[in-house]
Amino acid sequence: MSEIVKQAQKINSKIYNNIDNLQFKVHSKTFIYFGFSPLRVNLVPYFEEYYADGYWEKPDSVKLNIYAIRVVESGRDSSLARSINKQFSLPGPFIFDYNILTSKRDKEFKRPYYPFAEGSEKYYEYKLIGTLKSGMMDVIEVQVIPKFIDVPAVEGTFLLDKSDSWIVASDFIYNDAAKLTVQADKKGNIRQIKFVTDEEHRINIKKSFYYSSFWLPEVMEEEFFVSIIGFKVKVHRIIEFDSYIVNTPKFKTIKPSKKINYSIDYQKQDSILSIPKYPDRLSKEEEERIIEKIEDKIRSVKLFEELEDLSEIAKKTAKESIKKKGGKVFKYGVRASSLFQYNRIEALHVGYKYKFAPARIKNFASSIEAGYGFEDKKFKGEITFLKLFGKKKKFFVNSKIFDKLGFEEDTNNISNVKNTFSSLIFKADYRDFYRKNGVSLGLGYKFIDNLGAKISFISQEEKRVEKNTDFSIFRRKHPFRVNPEILDGKYNGLELSFKYNTYRINAGSSIKYTDKEFLKSDFSYTLYRFWFDWNYRTTYFSRLFYHFNSGFSSGAVAPQRWFDFGGKVFGNYTGRLRGISYKYFTGDRFISSVLEYHLNGRVLKRIGMKRNFLTVIKFIFFQGVGWSELSGKSRRLAENLNVPTLTTDGVYFEAGIGISDILNICRLDFIHNNIDNRILVQFNILR
C-alpha cells in the first residue's frame, strides 16, 4: 500500500509542478432544496444554470476563479441561487497545495489538504478497498482517513489507475479544519484565511485524460449546507468542465479585472428547458426527509457536546490554530474570552476563560476559567481537560477541577445567557445556587451518531449561599426570589447517563448514586431520571408534539437534588407546563406529561379567510398533567432549612389554547387548570 501511495504522490507532484495556469469553460447547474424567509417558510427547490469562463493559477490552488458568466434563466426567481454561487466559489479540484498554508518562518510544519501530496502520509492513513474495472482500465480504490482533527484534510475514497497511479476519480468530504479559503500576497505569505462552508461539504470528481499528459476534472458534484439568517439550506451543484487550455503564455493579459455577465444564450436555454422540472413545492415526505437529515446531523453534534462538556473547546482551538498566520499549531493555542453573568448571588460576575490545545498532543484540549462575583466577593475558577481517542473520536475522557457556583437546573432550558438576561431585566433568576469545590472524571462513548453514554465520578464539597442583591432594570420594587438553603456536606457520587437525540425523538436516562459507606459521602441516595420527547408532522400545516419526563429516588435525598417540573421559563415554550410558574412544585419523585398540537395559521387562508397576518401566526392546543411527592425521609432532612416543599395534591391538570407568531416572540395563552377556578390569560413577550 505504501508503494502505491508514494507513486501517486510523485505523479501528483509532477502535475502540480507542470501546470502554472489553466483556463476552462464550465457548465454549472445549481439545485437549492431549501428556501427560507424569517416569517414565511417556503420549501421550494430553486434551480439555476449558467455557463462560465474561469481560470486557476499558482499559488491559489484552493479555489477556482470565475470571470465571465452566461446565465440561463429558469423562469423563476433565482436570486437565492445567485447569492449562493457568488458567496461559495468553486473549490479547486486539481490539487491542494499544502505549501500555501506554510509561512517562510515555519517550513517544517506543513498542512496538506490533499492526501496524495508529498509528505501527506504523516497526516493520513490509507486503506486498500479493492480493484475495480473502469472501461479499459483497472483502478485501485483507496480510502483515506485523517490522523488529526486540527489539520486541514479530506476524508473519503480515491480511484487510482493501477498501471501508473494517476488519480482518475474521488469522493470525499472536508474535515472541520479544512473548511476555508486561503489568500496569499505576491511573496507567498498568507494574507487571509476565510471559513467558507459547513461540516457536510461533499465533493465527487470524475476526471478525463487531457493533452496526453494530465488527468483533469470532467464532472464535479458538490453537496453542502449553508446558513441563511439562521436557517439551513441544502445546495447541490453539478459542474461540467467543457474544455481546458493549459499554461497559456498570454494568461496575464487576458485575465479581466472584473467579472463579466453575458446576456442569455437562448440556444442553450432550449436545452435547459428540456430538463424535467421539479414541482413548485416539495411533497411532505420530501420535506421531512431533508429536514430530518439536517436535524439529525445537528443533534448528533449537540449530543456529543452535552456528553463531554468540552467539545466546544476542541473545536474552537482547532480553528484558532488554523487562523494563526504561518499555519503553525502554536505551542499553546490560547484565546481569552470575557464572561459576564448576572444572578442574585453574585450580582455581576466577571471572568475570563483561556482555551488551549498543545500542538504535540493530538485530539487534546483544555481550558482555564477564573472569575469574581462583586456582591458575594468570592473568586471562582475551573480547569478542564478533554482527550479524544480512536480514529473516529468516539471515545473520550474529560476531567475538571473546580471551585464555583453549582446548580441542578437543565442548561438546555436555562442557559447562562438566558438566566443572565432574565435576571438582569426582570428578576427571573431560575437557578438555585450552592457553592461547590472538588474534582470530576468522566468516560464517554458515542455508539452511533445519535446515541452516546457517559459515566462520571464526582467528589465535591457543597455549601449554601445567600441572595446578595435585589437590583434589576425593571421590577425595581420587587425582591429576587430567595435562594433555597441546602444540606451542607461532602458529595461523592457516581453518575451514568444515556442520551439519544434525533429530529423526531430526544430520549435519555440517568442514574446518580451516592453512599456514606461505600463512597464515603455525607449522603446516601439514588436518583433515577427518564425523559422522552417525540414529534410527528400530521399535515402540511400542523405538527404533534409529546413530552414525557419522570424522576424517582431511593433513600433520603438532600434538598439540592430534589426534582422540579413546574412552569414556564423565559424563551421556552415547547414541553413546559404553562399554568404554573417555574419552581412551583418539587419532590423526590415526579411525573409530567405534555401533549401539544401546533397548527399554522395559513391553513385558515385555504378555507377562505383571506388575511395576510394568518401566514405569520400559529395556534397551539395543549394539555398537561403532573404529579410529585416528597418522601418522609427527604422531608425530615429539610425540617430546619428554608426550602420550598410544595407538592401536587393528587394530579395537576391543565389545558388551553395559545396564539403566537411562528417565531414565538409574542404569545397569548388561555389556560384552565385544576388549581384555579377561572381561565388564566397570559401575554408574554419572549417568555
Q: Which grid cell is 27?
A: 457548465
Q: Which residues face 192 on adjacent strands?
A: 183
Is residue 331 over pLDDT 70?
Answer: no
Is residue 228 over pLDDT 80?
Answer: no
pLDDT (average), residues 87-95: 52
Q: Are 323 and 182 in contact (CB under 8 A)?
A: no
Predicted pLDDT at 311: 41
What pLDDT band is residue 102 in, cutting at 50, 70 and 90?
very low
Q: What is the pLDDT of residues 603-650, one digit of tens each?
A: 776 666 666 667 778 899 999 999 999 999 999 999 989 999 999 988
Residue recorded with cell 502535475: 15
Is residue 491 over pLDDT 90?
Answer: yes
CATH class held by domain 524-687: mainly beta
- Cα(51)–Cα(71) distance, integer angstroms: 6
Q: Are 631 and 645 in contact (CB under 8 A)?
A: no
Predicted pLDDT at 298: 63
Amino acid 100 reads I
User: pLDDT averaged over the chain?
Assistant: 75
Q: What is the CB-side half-sphere exposure of residue 253 using CA atoms within 13 A? A: 3
The count of residues in the chain is 687
Beta strands in 556-665 (DSSP E): 589-600, 617-629, 652-661
Q: Which residues face 215 on adjacent strands?
A: 209
Is residue 74 over pLDDT 50?
Answer: no
Is residue 396 over pLDDT 80?
Answer: yes
Q: Which residues face 195 on adjacent strands?
A: 180
Other residues' Cβ atoms within 10 Å of the Cβ of residue 408 = 13
What pLDDT band is residue 377 in, cutting at 50, 70 and 90?
very high
pLDDT (average), residues 419-439: 92
The model's pTM is 0.61
Q: What is the CB-side half-sphere exposure of residue 528 using CA atoms within 13 A? A: 6
* DSSP helix, strand, coil percent of the chain (3-state; round to 5): 15, 45, 35
Predicted pLDDT at 608: 64
Higher pLDDT: 277 or 12? It is 12
Q: What is the pLDDT of residues 170-211, one digit of tens each?
A: 887 776 665 554 444 445 444 444 434 445 667 777 776 665
What pLDDT band is residue 332 in, cutting at 50, 70 and 90?
very low
- Cα(672)–Cα(687) distance, integer angstroms: 19
pLDDT (average), residues 527-541: 90
Predicted pLDDT at 312: 45
Parse the chain into domains and list their residue ranges. Answer: 2-282, 283-474+485-499, 524-687
Would you call the peptide bond into 112 cis, given omega within 30 degrees of 0 as the criterion?
A: no
Predicted pLDDT at 512: 97
Please state the three-class secondary structure of 345-390 as a single string.
CCEEEEEEEEEECECCCCCEEEEEEEEEECCCCEEEEEEEEEEEEC
Q: Which grid cell is 485?
A: 438553603
